[in-house]
Amino acid sequence: MALDAKGRINVPVRHRDLLVAACEGQLTLTRHPDGYLLIYPRPTWEAVEAELMALKTASDGWRRIFLGSAVDVEIDSASRMLIPPELREAAGLAKDVLLIGTGRRLELWDKQRHDAVEARVVAAGMTDEVLGLNL
């Protein structure tokens, strides 16, 4: 998948249909300190936001990272989502990107960055917890 010249991505059908049904395509994007973007359906983000607001003062810096960079977006009628420039820069998104579902959220990665992280994860081997799964 690729970012267009205006910083938009086409949301794949498998994600788009679920997001439109769950939240009418209303999403919240925020940056993750590991160099990718988190994408939440708006109702899910509201629950995450409440959790962040409940953190103690010692976590103000993390609250600032997640809440301070959060941006509300919508899937448009052409099934595209605009990624704001400041979030594209924070995640190093250039051209080729990956949109990955991880349960209650999506992650948007620069493809090269994701490939490097995934290679490190695979090289480290599976944890006992993962090995215990019946995959």
Tens digit of pLDDT at every position of the chain (135 positions):
999 999 999 999 989 998 998 899 999 999 999 999 999 999 999 999 999 999 999 999 999 999 999 999 999 999 999 999 999 999 999 899 999 999 899 999 999 999 999 999 999 999 999 999 988
pLDDT score for 28: 98
**Fold for the domain defined by 8-131:** Chemotaxis protein chec (3.40.1550)
Is residue 12 within 8 A of residue 21, CB to CB? The reply is no
Is residue 92 within 8 A of residue 35, CB to CB? The reply is yes
Other residues' Cβ atoms within 10 Å of the Cβ of residue 105: 19
Angle at 32 between CA 49 and CA 96, to 5 degrees: 125
Global pTM value = 0.91
CA distance linking residue 22 with residue 43, whole number of Å: 9
pLDDT score for 53: 95
Provide CB contacts within 8 A for 71, sequence distance 6+: 28, 29, 30, 84, 87
